[in-house]
Structure 1
Amino acid sequence: MVYDRNGAFLTQIGARDAARIDYGYWPLREIPPRVALATLALEDRRFASHMGVDTRALLRAAWRNLVGRKRREGASTIAMQVARMQNPAPRSFAAKITEAATGIALVARHGHQAVLAHYLRLAPYGNGSHGIAHAARFYFDKPVEDLSLAEIALLAAVPQSPGRMNLFRESGLVLARARAARALAFLSREALVEPAQIALATQQLASLRPVGAARRPDALHLSLRYEALAREGLIAPASPHDPRIGATIDLSLQDKLAHLARRYLSLWRSAGARQVALMVVERGAGAVLADIGSSDYRDWRDGAIDFTRAPRSPGSTLKPFVYALAFERGALEPTDLVADVPEGASGVNNADGAFLGPMLPRQALANSRNVPATNLMRRVGLEANFQFLHDLGLHDLEAPAESFGLAMAIGALPTRLEHLMRAYGALAEDGVLSDLVFAKEQRRRRSVRVMSSDTARLVTSMLADPLARLPSFPRYGPLEYPFAVAVKTGTSQAYRDAWTIAYSRKAIVGVWIGRGDAGAMNRLSGAASSARLAHAALTLIHGAKAGEIETESFPPPQGRVPVEMCLAGGRSDGRCGETLVEWVRPQTAPPTRGAMELAARPVPRDETVELAVTTPEHKTHVWRNPELPPELNRLALRASAPGSVEQILWMVDGRPFRLADANEPVYWPMQPGTHRIQARLPLRPGASHIVEVTIE
C-alpha cells in the first residue's frame, strides 16, 4: 500500500501477471489471539481437535443437503480452505476429496498453528484484499495488532462470501455485521473473551463501518507510476511484515493543483489546447510533491496518456543547458557579446521574426533568442552538446548528433517533462544532478556533478533577471513573481507544445500544455499559457499574498562580483543608457566601455564613432562543407556603424581584405586556422574590437 507524505491512502500495488492482479498476502509475524478466536468461531470451531477434516461437520452437511435445504452447506475446514485457495478448482466431489486429502497432509506436515497462520495470510476479505494483515490496513488503516474486537469480528465474517459481504456496500455491511454478531455470541458462550469486552464489541459493531482509507483518490496516473516503480524494482517496502510505501506526494497539494490545471486549461481550449501536465519537486530533497499526468484520466481522447512521461518537442527549454556548456568549456564569458542577426544564423529565425543585434549572453538567454543559442551550439560543437544533454538525462538516443543539427537548441530533440524537471534540478542545486524521489523507500542512483556551481548559479541568475527579459517579455507579466524565481518558457514548432519550468527557493514547477494528437494550437506560446499556470502553482505553494514582496534572492556565484554592464558591451561608465548587472570574477572584470575601446584597439578610436563587428561572433567555430566548391565556402562579415560612416575597411589577420559600404555584407573565403577580423574606418582613426574565428 502506498501512502502520501501525510499518511493519506494513495494506491496499492499487487503482484501482476497475465491472468490477474492480486493484492494482499502480507506476512504475519504471529497471529493475534483474538483474530484466531474470531476466525475459528466462524470457520472451524473444532479446528484443534481434528487432523484437517472435520468428520462430524461433513456428515452434518451431507445430511442437511440431502434433506433439501435451499442453501447448500459445506464443511470445509481451515486446512481444506487453504488447499482450495492455493489450487482453485471447480466445485465437484472429486475436488472436495482432493481438498480433504491435502488438508490432512498440510496439518500432518506443518501443524495446526502454521495452517491457521497461512489461512489468515491468504483468506479473501473482499475488494481485492487478501490476508487479515492487508484487510486491517485496507479497511481500517491500522496494523492487525491494533484492531478492536468488533473490527476483528467484522473482518472474520467476510471470507465466507466476500462478494455478498462487501464492506463498502450497505447491504454487504449489514450481512457482515450479522455474521460478526454470531462470532461474538460464540466467544461469549464459550467464555473465551471477557464479558466486558464482548459488550463493548457488540455496542461498537452496531455502527461500525470501514474508514474508507483504501478509496483510491482521483490520481490514476500516480497509481500507474508507483506500480511501474515497483515493477522495475525501484521501490520496495522496508520490511516484509509491513509492506507500506511512504510516497513523497502531497495528495492535498496534488488535488488543489489538479483543479487549478483544469481551470486554466479551460481558458485555452478555444485555442486548441486539450491537455495539461504538471509536476512539482521539492528543492533540496528532490521529492516529487505533485505529479499530474493529464487533465482527466477518463478523457476519451487522450486523458489516459501520462504527459509527464510522453516524449515531446521541448521548444526553447533546452537553451539554458546550451549556455551552461558554453560557460563550462570557456567558449563564452558573461561579458562577451553574442549576435542576434540574420547573417550566420544558418536559416534559424526567432519566434517574433525580429533580430535584436549584438547583446550580452544574459539578455540573449532571458529573451530566448534562437540565433545566439544555435551559434553557441555551433561554436562548442554538436556532439559535445548532444552528449551533455544525454548526461543530464534529457535523452537516451543513439542517433548521431548531426541528425538533429543545430535545431537541438530550439526543440528538435524530444524529451519528457519528468526529464526536464530532473535536469533543471541540476541548475537549481548548484550543478548536482539527482534522481527525482517518489518514495522514502526508493532506490536511487548516486548524485553526480554535471556542471560547476559557478555555471549553475550564473545561469540561474540569468533566468531570474526580469530586466534581462526585456524587450521580448514585458515586466510584471506571468514570468515575474513577488519572490525570486528562475523561469524558462518553451514553444515547439507550429505551437504544438507550450512549456514552462520555474524554480524558487522552495520548489521546481514544470508545466506542459498541448494535444495528445500532436496537433497545432492557435498561437498558444509557453509565455501566454503554461507560464500563467506555473505562476499560479508556485504562488500557491509559497502561500504568497497580493502585494507581498520577498527580498530574498538566489545565492550569487561564489567569487564573482556584480558589475553594471552596458547592453552594447563593456562596463558602464554612466554614459551608456540601459544596463544590466552581471556577475564577473574580480580579476577579469572588464574596463569601462570608454577605456576598453581605447585600450583594446590596435588603431586609435574616434570616441564619436561606434564600430562593432556583428557577424561573426567572437570565438566562433566554423566547419567548412568539403562538398561545396571553394567559392561557396565563405563567411559573411557585417558591422554596425552610425549613419555618418559611409565605408568600412575590413581587416583579416592584420591585412586589408576589402573596402565596402558600411551597410554592405562582405563575404570572406574561409581558410583553415584561427583568424582575426576587424572593421576599421578608412583613412582616419576608428576601429572595432578584434573578433577571433576558427575555421576547420
Structure 2
Amino acid sequence: MSKKYTAILISDGICLLLLLWFWLALPSQLFISPTSYLVEASNGELLSASIAKDGQWRFPEANTVPQKFAQCIVAFEDKRFYQHPGVDLLAMSRAMRQNMKAKSVVSGGSTLTMQVIRLSRRESRTVVQKLIEVLLALRLEITHSKQDILKLYASNAPFGSNVVGLEAASWRYFGRSPETLSWGEMATLAVLPNSPSLVHPGKNSVKLIKKRNDLLDKIAGLKFIDQTTANLSKLEPIPGKPQALPQTAPHLLNRFKTERLALKNKSTRVTSTLNYDLQLEINSLLKRYNNRYRANDINNISALVLDVKHGTVASYVGNIYQPENKELESHVDMIRAPRSPGSTLKPLLYASMMNDGFILPRTLIPDIPTQIGGYSPQNYDLGYDGAIPADKALSRSLNIPSVKMLQNYKYQRFYDQLKKLGFSTLNQPADHYGLSLILGGSEVTMWDLAKTYMGMARTLNHFNDYKGRYNPRDYDAPGYIKGKNAARKAYFEAYETQVTSVLDHGSIWNTFNAMEELMRPGEEGLWEQFSSSQRLAWKTGTSFGFRDAWAIGLNPDYVVCVWVGNADGEGRPGLTGIDVAAPVLFDIFKLLPNANWFTPPKTKLKKMRVCRQSGYKAGEYCKDVIEELVSPAGEKTVLCPYHKLIHLDKTGTFRVTDACESPADMLHVSWFVLPPAMEYYYKIKNSEYKLLPPFKPGYGDVGNNYVMDMIYPKDYASIYVPVEFDGSRGKVVLNATHRNSDAKIYWHIDGEYIATTKNYHQLAVSPSPGKHTLTLVDNKGERLVQTFTILDKEKK
C-alpha cells in the first residue's frame, strides 16, 4: 500500500470521524432541567402550577410559539433568523468589528439558534466554546425546523429572577397566558432574555422601558404593526413584582405529581377534564360556605363532581386552599383522605339486598331497641317505629333498621360486596368492622365513594347501549386527563359485556328512586322550589362524634360528593351531613345543567304482587295487594310473614278456638300481626294498625307463646349500669310488652319474685354484676325466659 493511499485513508477516516462527531455531538434531548408541574382545564386555561425542583419557574415546552413573540424576538435578536443556516456570518463579522473597535465585548453576533445551544450547554463564553456553538447550531438546523428552534428558545430563555421561558414569564409578570398579551407586553418580554440579570420587571425600569419602546419602533418599521399601535403600546405600564400563579386546583396538581409515572405521562403538564368555569364557581361557593362554617371551628370542605356519561372528573376541590394558615391543614386532599363514611354506604346495602333477593323495595324492617353482642345502635332521633319499610328506613337514614338489614344480609357478604365495588381502604378483615360497617365503622375515600355511585349510574345509563347486559368497566375510576377518556369510551364499547354484574339494573333503579325521597334540608318552600327543577338521588352521612359530614347526589349526568369537617379529625357540634353538607350539594347542582331522570330498565324489572302493608311478596292471606316493578331477584324473597288467618266468634269481637266455638259459627279473617316488640312501637305511629281481638272470656290463649316479648334487654344482652354520685350502683329499666293490655306480668330474676306489673310493663332494678336469668309469667301462665349480663366495667 502506497503512502499516498494511506494518507487518503487516514484523511477520509478523520473526515468520517469529524462527520460522525458532528452528527452525534447534539444530544437527543437538549434540555434536561426539571420543569414546573401544570394542570390545565379542558379548555387549556391554567388551573394550578408548582415551582420546579431547582427553584425555577420553568414550564414544559409549549406546542406553539405565539406569533407576536416570534416577530418581536426575531426583530430584536436575529433579523435574518429565517434566512441563515444557524450562523449569521454578517452579524458575526459586524460584532467582531464592533468589539475590536471598542476593545471589549459590546456585541455577540449570536443567532437565536446559537443562543439555544448556549442555553442548553451552560458553558463559559470562550473562543473555543463559541466555535462549538457555531458547529452545534449548524447541526441543530439540519434536524429542527425554525419553528422547533423558536419553541426551544421560548421555553428555555431566562426572563429574570427565577423565571425561565416565555410562558412562565407571561404568567409571573402579567398573570395571563402569552397568547393573550398585547404588543406592548410581548415586546417587554422579548427584550428580557438579552440581559435578564440587569433588566427585568422591578429592576432598571427606565432601561427596560427604553428597550421595549425601541423594539416597538423596530417592529413598526418592519410593518408588523403600524406606528399608531406602537405609540399606544409605549404608554402601557411595565409590570412590577412577579405575581402568584393560579391555584384553582392545587390538590389535583399534587395528585398528578404522585400519579404521573403510573399514568405514563411524560410531560409535567397535563390538560385535565375539568370544566374551567365550573371549577372557579365551585371554589368560590365552597369559600363562602367555609367562611360561614369557620365560626363553628369547622375548617375544611371539599367537593368532587364527576361527569357520568364520560366517566371523567368535571371539578376537583380537595380542600379550601389557605396556605397562609398552616393550622387549618388546607393542604390535605380530603378527596383522597380515608374518613368514616357515616350513613353513605346504606344505599349500597339496600341495593345489594335487593340484588341478592333478601328484600323488596318496601319490605318491613324491624325498628326496635336492639343489642347485638354488646353493640347497641341508636337512631339519630333516639326514637323507634317498631317496623318501617326498607325504602323509608333508607330515606330517613335510620340506624337500627340498617343494622337489622346487615345482620340478615351478613356483614361478611357486604364486606365482599364493597371490595367488588372497588373500595380500596377496607384494609382489615370483615370481623374487624362487624355490624358497625353500615354505620361508618370503616374508612372510605370520597374518590371511592363517588366512583361507586358513578358506576351504578353508568350501569343504568348503559342499559340500552348494551342491550340489557353489563360492562364491568363502568365501575372503573374516573379519568381526569383529557383525551384518555375518549380511549376509555372506545374501550367500554369494545369490551365484552357480561350477563351479570355486582348490582343489577332493577336494584339500582329502585335504590335511586328510594334515594330521591330523602328529606331535603332548610325551609320546605325553598327545597320544594328546587325539587321542581331537578330530580336527584342523594344521601347524607354523619360520622360518630360529629367528625365528618357527607352529602352525595346524582342524576344521569353528574355525581356530586361533598365532605365537610376538620382534616385533623376534631368533631364539632352541628357537624352533620343534613345541616352542613347537603346545602352545599344542592347549590352545586344549581351550577350544573338540568338532566332528565333515568330511563326505567323495563325489561330488567319484574312485576310482582306485593303486600301493601308488609312490603313482602304477597301470601295467601294478604288482601291488600299491589303490583310493583322490582328486580327479578325478588322472586327469592319469602312470602309475607305477618298476615295470618285468625278465627273470631260470629260477632267478630273475640278470638276463639274449636274448644269454645263451632267451626261453622266462626269468622275466618286475615289479620296483620306484628311480633309484640315491633307492635309495641308500630301501633303508636300507625293509627290504622288493629290489635288482635282478645280471646273469648273463659278461654285462654292456650299454647300461644307469642303474646309476650322483651323490649329491653334482649336475650343474651350485656349491660353496664353506671355508678351514681353517692357511690351506689344505678338501676337498669326492664321493659316488656304483652298483647293483652289488661294482662298482669309477674317478674322473677334468678328464680326470685321481684314485682308485678299491669298495663305498663316497666321495672327498675339493680342486679349485681354477673349473669342473670329473667323469667316473666303472665296471669294465664305463659312464660318468657331469657338471660342478660350486668358488666362490672364498661366495655371499651
Q: CA deviation at 1:324?
A: 1.8
- The separation in 2 between residues aligned to 1:647 and 1:359, in whole angstroms, is 32
Q: What is residue 26 of structure 1 aligned with on the other side?
A: 62
Cα 1:490–1:98, aligned 2, differ >3 Å: closer, same or farther? farther
Cα 1:375–1:96, aligned 2, differ >3 Å: closer, same or farther? farther
Matched residue SS, 2:47: strand
- The separation in 2 between residues aligned to 1:380 and 1:595, in whole angstroms, is 20
When the two structures are aligned, how many residues end up with a matched partner? 606
Q: What is residue 405 of structure 1 aligned with on the other side?
A: 434
Cα 1:345–1:211, aligned 2, differ >3 Å: closer, same or farther? farther
Counterpart among 74, 82, 88 of residue 116 in structure 2: 82
Where does 1:154-303 land on structure 2 (aligned, <5 Å)?
Answer: 154-162=188-196, 178-183=210-215, 193=222, 195=223, 197=225, 199=227, 202-203=230-231, 205-206=233-234, 216-221=245-250, 224-225=253-254, 227-228=256-257, 231-232=260-261, 234=263, 246-298=271-323, 299-301=325-327, 302-303=329-330
* Superposed CA offset, 1:336-392 (max 9, x none): 332222346451412333332222211222222223323333433434322322232
Answer with 353-362 or 579-588: which moved more: 579-588
Q: Structure 1 residue 462 and structure 2 residue 492: aligned?
A: no
Q: Which amino acid aligns with 1:159?
A: P
Cα 1:414–1:26, aligned 2, differ >3 Å: closer, same or farther? same
- The separation in 2 between residues aligned to 1:182 and 1:113, in whole angstroms, is 34
Q: What is residue 512 of structure 1 aligned with on the other side?
A: 563
Q: Structure 1 residue 121 and structure 2 residue 152: aligned?
A: yes
Whether the 8 Å contact between 2:59 and 2:165 is mirrored in structure 1 is: no
- TM normalised by structure 1 equals 0.70
Q: CA deviation at 1:458?
A: 1.0
Q: CA deviation at 1:285?
A: 2.7
- The separation in 2 between residues aligned to 1:659 and 1:223, in whole angstroms, is 60
- The separation in 2 between residues aligned to 1:442 and 1:605, in whole angstroms, is 71
Cα 1:580–1:321, aligned 2, differ >3 Å: closer, same or farther? farther
Answer with 489-498 or 320-329: which moved more: 320-329
Bigger radius of gyration among the two: 2
Q: Which amino acid aligns with 1:57?
A: A
Q: Which amino acid aligns with 1:124?
A: A
- The separation in 1 between residues aligned to 2:714 and 2:218, in whole angstroms, is 103
- The separation in 2 between residues aligned to 1:565 and 1:245, in whole angstroms, is 56
Whether the 8 Å contact between 1:124 and 1:131 is mirrored in structure 2 is: yes
Q: Structure 1 residue 100 and structure 2 residue 130: aligned?
A: yes
Q: Structure 1 residue 661 and structure 2 residue 688: aligned?
A: no
Counterpart among 431, 441, 444 of residue 483 in structure 2: 441
* Superposed CA offset, 1:236-265 (max 9, x none): 59xx9xx98554333333333333323333
Cα 1:451–1:649, aligned 2, differ >3 Å: closer, same or farther? farther
Cα 1:369–1:165, aligned 2, differ >3 Å: closer, same or farther? farther
Whether the 8 Å contact between 1:188 and 1:198 is mirrored in structure 2 is: yes
Q: What is residue 306 of structure 1 aligned with on the other side?
A: 333
Q: What is residue 623 of structure 1 aligned with on the other side?
A: none
Cα 1:509–1:648, aligned 2, differ >3 Å: closer, same or farther? farther
* Superposed CA offset, 1:560-596 (max 9, x none): 45988645546999xx9x9999643799699998995
Cα 1:595–1:9, aligned 2, differ >3 Å: closer, same or farther? closer
Where does 1:211-610 land on structure 2 (aligned, <5 Å)?
Answer: 216-221=245-250, 224-225=253-254, 227-228=256-257, 231-232=260-261, 234=263, 246-298=271-323, 299-301=325-327, 302-343=329-370, 345-346=372-373, 347-350=375-378, 351-430=380-459, 432-442=474-484, 450-466=502-518, 481-482=531-532, 483-541=534-592, 553-558=597-602, 559-560=605-606, 566=612, 568-569=614-615, 583-584=629-630, 597-598=644-645, 607=669, 610=672
- The separation in 1 between residues aligned to 2:143 and 2:211, in whole angstroms, is 24
- Unaligned stretches of 5+ residues in structure 1: 67-71, 544-549, 617-639, 652-657, 669-678, 685-696
Matched residue SS, 1:501: strand
Q: CA deviation at 1:473?
A: 11
- The separation in 2 between residues aligned to 1:403 and 1:38, in whole angstroms, is 68
Q: Which amino acid aligns with 2:126?
A: K
Q: Which amino acid aligns with 1:22?
A: R
Q: Which amino acid aligns with 2:234?
A: A
Whether the 8 Å contact between 2:114 and 2:137 is mirrored in structure 1 is: no
- The separation in 2 between residues aligned to 1:25 and 1:6, in whole angstroms, is 18
- The separation in 2 between residues aligned to 1:540 and 1:57, in whole angstroms, is 62
Cα 1:371–1:142, aligned 2, differ >3 Å: closer, same or farther? closer
* Superposed CA offset, 1:285-306 (max 9, x none): 3343332222333332212222
Matched residue SS, 2:310: coil
Q: CA deviation at 1:280?
A: 2.3
Q: Which amino acid aligns with 2:132?
A: T
Whether the 8 Å contact between 2:249 and 2:316 is mirrored in structure 1 is: no
Whether the 8 Å contact between 1:148 and 1:201 is mirrored in structure 2 is: no
Whether the 8 Å contact between 1:562 and 1:581 is mirrored in structure 2 is: yes
- The separation in 2 between residues aligned to 1:659 and 1:591, in whole angstroms, is 21
Cα 1:313–1:204, aligned 2, differ >3 Å: closer, same or farther? same
Matched residue SS, 1:100: helix
* Superposed CA offset, 1:216-254 (max 9, x none): 4441425625743872454859xx9xx985543333333
- The separation in 2 between residues aligned to 1:104 and 1:58, in whole angstroms, is 15
Q: What is residue 611 of structure 1 aligned with on the other side?
A: 673
Question: In angstroms, what is the RMSD of aligned CA positions?
Answer: 5.3
- The separation in 1 between residues aligned to 2:677 and 2:190, in whole angstroms, is 82
* Superposed CA offset, 1:592-616 (max 9, x none): 98995449xxx99974864334889
- The separation in 1 between residues aligned to 2:219 and 2:522, in whole angstroms, is 76
- The separation in 1 between residues aligned to 2:190 and 2:553, in whole angstroms, is 52
Where does 1:30-49 land on structure 2 (aligned, <5 Å)?
Answer: 38-44=72-78, 48=84
* Superposed CA offset, 1:58-82 (max 9, x none): 574476475xxxxx85637245533
Q: Which amino acid aligns with 1:611?
A: V
Q: Identity over aligned residues, as a percent?
A: 20
Answer with 398-407 or 555-564: which moved more: 555-564
Q: What is residue 652 of structure 2 aligned with on the other side?
A: none
* Superposed CA offset, 1:465-500 (max 9, x none): 24xx69x99976869833322111101010000111
Matched residue SS, 1:438: coil
Q: CA deviation at 1:274?
A: 1.6
- TM normalised by structure 2 equals 0.62
- The separation in 2 between residues aligned to 1:344 and 1:478, in whole angstroms, is 37
Q: CA deviation at 1:27?
A: 5.7
* Superposed CA offset, 1:128-183 (max 9, x none): 77556887999798898x999877755432322346665xx587887556434444
Whether the 8 Å contact between 1:120 and 1:131 is mirrored in structure 2 is: no
Q: What is residue 15 of structure 2 aligned with on the other side?
A: none
- Unaligned stretches of 5+ residues in structure 2: 1-37, 461-473, 647-656, 658-665, 679-689, 717-737, 741-777, 781-796
Matched residue SS, 1:311: coil
